[in-house]
Structures are given as C-alpha cells and as structure tokens.
Amino acid sequence: MTHNLHIHNTLTRKKEKFIPINSPFVGMYVCGPTVYSDVHLGNCRTFISFDMMYRYLLHLGYTVRYVRNITDAGHLEGDRDEGDDKFAKKAKLLQVEPMEIVQKYTVGFREIMNLYNTLPPSIEPAATGHIIEQQEITKKIIENKFAYEINGTVYFDVEKYSKTNNYTELTNRKLEDLLEGSRELDGQDEKKGRLDFALWIKAKPEHLMKWPSPWGIGFPGWHIECSAMSTKYLGEKFDLHGGGMDLQATHHTNEIAQNIAYCGKSPANYWLHTNMLTVKRQRMSKSLGNSILPMELVTGNNPLLSKGYHPMAIKFFMMQTHYSSTLDFSDEALQGSEKAFYRLMESYKTLQTISAAASSNENIAELQKKCYEAMDDDFNTPVLIANLFETVRIINSVNDKKINLTQTDIDLLKKIYQDFVFDIMGLKADEENSKSNSALEKVMQLVLEMRIKAKNNKDFAASDEIRNKLNEAGVVIKDGKDGATWSI
C-alpha cells in the first residue's frame, strides 16, 4: 500500500509514519462512551474525530477492525476506585434496573452517532459481556505478582511495576510528581501504595451490578475492561489505540501497565488522543454542568444558541479544527461554519451543471495531491478544508465563464468531493443541506413574515397560533434579537 500517512503518536510524542503490523489489516481500539446519561457534544467530537480517521484508513484501502467499547459497568464517580457506580446511582434515582439505564443511553448514543453520519465500528463490545475475560487477566496479573488481593478487592501494584517498567511512559510525567499529587493513604485504606488502582472491587451488599469471582462477589475496575476487550478482539499487540485526552493520564496509563503486567506487551503501537471541546474555554463535561446535547443543537433549544443547526454543519464546524487542538464552542463560530458548509455544498451542486472545455486553466490533479497531503499529515482536516475552498473558487470561476476546465478535470473535481467531503469527512449532501435554497425555506420565511405582521398589528392570538401550529407540525420557532428563526 503506497501512502504517506503520518500520525502524531502520544506514546513517543513524535509524528511517525504509519506502518501497520500486518498490512493491509489494521486493528484500532477506541474507548467508547460510559452509557449512564446522554452523550454531550464533547463526547461526540471525540467519536467523530476517530470516525474520520477510520474512514481515511478505509479510503487508503486498509481492512480495519475498529473496536469501540461500551462502558456499562465499573466506571465509578470521579473515575476512582471509591464512590458510587455511575449506572447504579442513576438506576436508584429513577428506580429502574441498571441495565435499563445502559439500554436507554446505548440506543441514544447510536442514534446520535447516526445523526452525525458516523460509521458503526466493526465490534462494539460491552464491559458486562466480558466479565470472565476481565477476571482471567486479573488472575494472570496476580500470578505475575503485579497485583494483590485484600478483602475481596484486587489492586494493581504500581510501585512494584515501576521497578521494572516505565509507568508514566504515556504522559512523560515524573512518578514523584504523581505521588505528590495523590492523596496520602490513611487507616481506612486497604491498598498498599497511593497510586495502586483496583482491577476488581468487592461489592457492598447494596451494590446493584455484581458478579461472583475467585475473590468473592464484586465488579471489575474501569481500566481492566479495555485491556480485556482490546486483547480479545485485536490481540496482545495491535496498531492504534485512541480516546479523549482526559483519558491519557489515568485510564490509558493504567491500561498499558495492565497489559504489560499481563503478557509483557504494550498493547498498541500508536496512541492517539483527541483534544477537548470547550465552552467559554472550559472543558465540556457532565460533571461541570456545561454540556450541550446534540439534539439541543438541532432544535436550538439551549440558552447558548440563537437557532438550531443542521448536524452536518456542526460536524463541519468540528472538522475545521485539528483534532489535537482544543475547540471552543460558540454560537457565532457555528454560524460561520454553517455558512461555509452551505457554500461548499452549493458549489458541489454547481459542479454538476458546469460544462467542459477543450483546455484547463487550473491544475486539479495538484489540488487533489494537496488534499491527500493534508490528510497524510496527521489527519489535518482544517488544511484539507482550505484546499476544498480552492475548488469552490474554481467551480464559481468556471460557472462565471472566467476560466475553463476539461471533462477530465471536472470529473476529478467530482471525485475530490466524493472522496474527501463525503467518504472521508463523512459529510452528507442531502436536500436539507441546501436549506437556504429550498422551497421549504421560502415558505417558512413567508410564514415568519406573516407572524411578524400579526405581532406588529398587536394580534398576538394570531402570532401565537402560528407558532403553536408550527410546533405541532414539529417546527420549532425561536425568537432572537435579529428576528425569528426556525428548525425542525
């Protein structure tokens, strides 16, 4: 396979050429969602980024086995070994089975991934379906003397491990600094070392999700699930492992330690970390309460939004920033992205109508090369998009009869759109995308104008009736300072 894909590898802190272990096969593991509540836009950014990488690898001709797990057990509040299980807490609150919580939010997650036109992974294993595998790995780690059991809980021995291995390889942080930053142990603690973490946790009688094990009734720790499922489906050594940057210091650091303690191998050759989506420069997170839900973006039903946005405009907004940079969410930024996205789509429509000439004034093959160079440079979608806007300029110039293109070049432009816009970035050019030109948009403008007239005539009964009837028909009207907007 000839390509020149380079990936920034968190493990080596370098941009490296991507060389799969067993080309054309590629194994890729991405930490999936913890399904105890709705996914927010930040989670979506991470999964959309990995979908774009998956799509590019497929486009290059690799046969990719893409495993993205569902975390449906073991993830405790605060991401530590103490505290309530996130699923059980929600289940108790709503008086339902934890598995009802899991089912509800797994289905919701898949719907949202569908809304954003992401491809389903090859395998989507759930932690609760792999309890035996997690126990087997835990047993082996104990056997290899890197873990110990106390009162039904099994801890990973970080100090012991660090004697022969570099525990902080992934973050390059100093072990002493980690120790300094961690809580001092007191009489309440069972574990031997401050940095030790649980592979298996003894269940209290009131705990809802629990299984028998060689160490008594309990449940697995959060980190061991990814070691178990990646090893099961991709082997002890595979190509790519990904997740959000917030997972790097603990979850992924512990995952590497577990795998090495289990079988002597660090699991993945390349580690990829996506950066955070922020709101007012603060990371979007469920616990901070600044989450924006994907459906709120579509309906516009959130105080931060002036209107609803098409999911593809939101996806385009994400693609305009490199996955490794933070992306600050704002309504103004989204408005800009929406306009740019519609311009790209309009230009694609125009491309279908332009006619060929005997010669070309532009080098389209060179432009295609630049698009590949952008993607090969650590999936650089913002540079790719800048190149795609070159196609917009060219298409408009041909349409205005200022320049000419041959049929071969027109066909190549169509291929560039198909490959990079639709197949790799996974954007869709459906009719809704051309909302600005559609008949529906014109009708809606008419209706909104009638409503404004009614309001101006102080006929509030009529203006409310228009809004309510539209609501009944599934159209949400939002009044802003620059007039009313609508969304479906």
The contact set with Zn ion (CB under 5 A) reads: 31, 226
∠ CA 317-323-327 to the nearest 5 degrees?
50
> Residue 184 gets which letter from DSSP?
P
Shortest Å, Cβ 333 to Zn ion: 30
∠ CA 327-329-334 to the nearest 5 degrees?
110
Looking at the Cβ atoms of 46 and 134, the one nearer to ligand AMP is: 46
Shortest Å, Cβ 161 to ligand AMP: 24
Shortest Å, Cβ 160 to Zn ion: 23
**What does DSSP say about strands 25-30 and 238-244: parallel, antiparallel, or unpaired?**
parallel
Looking at the Cβ atoms of 295 and 412, the one nearer to ligand AMP is: 295
Instruction: Decide if residue 89 touches ligand AMP (CB under 6 A).
Output: no
Stretch binding ligand AMP (CB under 6 A), from 31-39, 62-70, 316-324, 387-395: 31-39
Instruction: Decide if residue 51 touches ligand AMP (CB under 6 A).
Output: no
Q: CA–CA distance from 38 to each of 49, 101, 308, 350 (Å)?
A: 19, 10, 19, 39
Shortest Å, Cβ 174 to ligand AMP: 24
∠ CA 294-296-300 to the nearest 5 degrees?
130
Report the sign of the C-alpha dihedral through residues 345, 348, 354, 360, in that order. Answer: positive
Shortest Å, Cβ 46 to Zn ion: 12
In 3D space, the residue among 68, 86, 89, 69 whose CA is nearest the CA of residue 77 turns out to be: 86
Residue with smallest beta-carbon separation from ligand AMP: 244
Report the sign of the C-alpha dihedral through residues 48, 49, 50, 52, in that order. Answer: positive
d(CA 352, CA 410): 9
CB 384 within 8 A of CB 420: yes
Alpha helices in 400-459 (DSSP H): 407-416, 439-456
Instruction: Decide if residue 246 touches ligand AMP (CB under 6 A).
Output: yes
Q: Which of 201, 277, 298, 427 binds ligand AMP (CB under 6 A)?
A: 277
CB 20 within 8 A of CB 268: no
Instruction: Decide if residue 276 touches ligand AMP (CB under 6 A).
Output: yes
Looking at the Cβ atoms of 278 and 434, the one nearer to ligand AMP is: 278
Shortest Å, Cβ 179 to ligand AMP: 24
Q: Which of 59, 283, 343, 428 binds ligand AMP (CB under 6 A)?
A: 283
Per-residue interface string for the shown chain with ligand AMP, residues 431-470, x marking contact by CB under 6 A: ----------------------------------------
Stretch binding ligand AMP (CB under 6 A), from 41-49, 110-118, 162-170, 296-304: 41-49
Q: Which residues bind ligand AMP (CB under 6 A)?
A: 31, 33-34, 42-43, 45-46, 71, 243-244, 246-247, 274, 276-277, 283-285
